Structure 1
């Protein structure tokens, strides 16, 4: 049994890609997308027709509605390949606008439902700002399940759990990137590998906290840089993994044991904490890594969303 097969016995494996033609060989249960992955995909000859078809069918509609049509077209293709859920992201430029995030999420879900897809198969991805978490809480109450992304700080995870969010995506690799860059020449790769990786430690803390306190929110580790990070989080609820790293796991037959355990977490001494808006904002502010990576992530997704807008506008001419 290869490591990918072993991992699937402990953890739900999710493919982190907009390239649905690659999905079948790894047989993931779910798939996630983001603006950067969709932008990359539509620039490929394999997928350009999805953008062109959406534009042709909806050219009289406002630009933002055409964008959602493109995102949902990708989601529909992915759902033909995976048996579970697809995550589709709300425009990152709405990350600090609760009302606009709710409206966009409802529209995306309506498009899926019009195509005959049940709500249970779609997760709406929203950035883990205070406004995003509050928007997601309202959406969850209306039966629209959410995936809170760009999550770097423990306070973000606590707030998501308290809000009854379906799933969170803590970003292992980007946390690792920040600490490695911050340390510079003093960084010791071996000393920060496996369970000592700062991104792995963050997800482990969140997982243990949720299991200790009976929080139902699913934890899906994301943004991996190497298979060592994945191996150190075996046993996590879900892990979303790029095709390159899925292939590396598939190519290895080394034993892979679970690293995380709900039973161990429940036996641990982990006090409950809570954050109101002021407490959340202060805790996030105190975490330089999380503050910087959240802002950077929103900016990067916003840039790629704008590029996708430009591609669609060019197609309209």
Structure 2
């Protein structure tokens, strides 16, 4: 499973990259605003800074909701760097945009997926990734992981569909582990979820014991 980090913070992206397990980055307007990045020129420049850190797969989101403007924004984003994946919302004009961009060889990430039908439409349109938001489904007492499993199963029925399942809104370590168990291609999450996989109390106590025993012999 690929690990993406869901942030616009350059320090966090660099830390995840230095760990050696980072496969990409996802961002959105809210994450940009959280870092104080506003204004079109500043946002585009920030995307380029992210691309300069990672090896591939930087999802950059269009803001428009109509086909013509989404296409214009997508072309601007795609020109930033070959690593850019244009993030497009799951709406009617979004599907049209994904189809058009796919025909041009521009990779896309269909975002705000909340049911299997939406995921199937996005895959038919040629999306490179679909992003089901499991945490937000959990928030309304719907099993987000079950949706991931359902989409993985449907895509598995049709090998011609090359769309990857990108589990988004991953909130904690067990979300990440369960996504791996059920076959998600990618999980995107905050840095703390990735680094949380490093931790176990028995690892800490075992290491402390090893070091204590070593010091006794010196």
Given that 2:128 and 2:164 are in contact with CA atoms closer than 8 Å, whether structure 1 keeps it comes out as: yes
Return the alpha-carbon distance in structure 2 between the equivalents of residues 147 and 16 of structure 1: 14
Question: SS of the residue aligned with 2:42?
Answer: helix
Residue 25 of structure 1 is matched in structure 2 by 15
Q: Does 1:247 align with 2:195?
A: yes
Return the alpha-carbon distance in structure 1 between the equivalents of residues 31 and 184 of structure 2: 24
Residue 175 of structure 1 is matched in structure 2 by 137
Q: Does 1:207 align with 2:148?
A: no
Q: 1:251 deviation in Å?
A: 2.3
Q: Does 1:229 align with 2:193?
A: no
What does the per-residue CA deviation read over 1:87-121, in whole Å, with 9 as the maximum and x for residues that have no partner?
11001xx22x11211121112223x1xxxx22xx1
Q: TM-score, normalised by structure 2?
A: 0.84
Q: 1:253 deviation in Å?
A: 8.4
Return the alpha-carbon distance in structure 2 between the equivalents of residues 240 and 89 of structure 1: 15
Given that 1:221 and 1:238 are in contact with CA atoms closer than 8 Å, whether structure 2 keeps it comes out as: yes
Q: 1:13 deviation in Å?
A: 0.4
- Choose which of 49, 55, 78 in structure 2 pairs with 1:83: 55
Given that 1:72 and 1:88 are in contact with CA atoms closer than 8 Å, whether structure 2 keeps it comes out as: no
5+ residue gaps, structure 2, are: 203-218
Q: TM-score, normalised by structure 1?
A: 0.58
Return the alpha-carbon distance in structure 2 between the equivalents of residues 244 and 109 of structure 1: 29
Given that 1:17 and 1:32 are in contact with CA atoms closer than 8 Å, whether structure 2 keeps it comes out as: yes
Return the alpha-carbon distance in structure 2 between the equivalents of residues 33 and 207 of structure 1: 23
Question: SS of the residue aligned with 2:112?
Answer: strand
- Choose which of 137, 140, 145 in structure 1 pairs with 2:102: 140
Residue 219 of structure 1 is matched in structure 2 by 165
Question: How many corresponding residue pairs?
Answer: 195
Larger RCO (CA under 8 A, 6+ residues apart) = 1
Q: Does 1:162 align with 2:124?
A: yes
Q: How does 1:47-58 map to 2 (within 5 A)?
A: none
- Choose which of 56, 67, 78 in structure 2 pairs with 1:109: 78
Given that 2:59 and 2:87 are in contact with CA atoms closer than 8 Å, whether structure 1 keeps it comes out as: yes
Q: 1:70 deviation in Å?
A: 2.2
Q: 1:142 deviation in Å?
A: 1.1
Residue 32 of structure 2 is matched in structure 1 by 38
Question: SS of the residue aligned with 2:184?
Answer: coil
Return the alpha-carbon distance in structure 2 between the equivalents of residues 133 and 250 of structure 1: 39
5+ residue gaps, structure 1, are: 1-10, 43-47, 52-65, 181-197, 255-317
Q: How does 1:6-21 map to 2 (within 5 A)?
A: 11-21=1-11
Q: 1:247 deviation in Å?
A: 2.2
What does the per-residue CA deviation read over 1:16-36, in whole Å, with 9 as the maximum and x for residues that have no partner?
000121123323110010000
Return the alpha-carbon distance in structure 2 between the equivalents of residues 24 and 202 of structure 1: 31
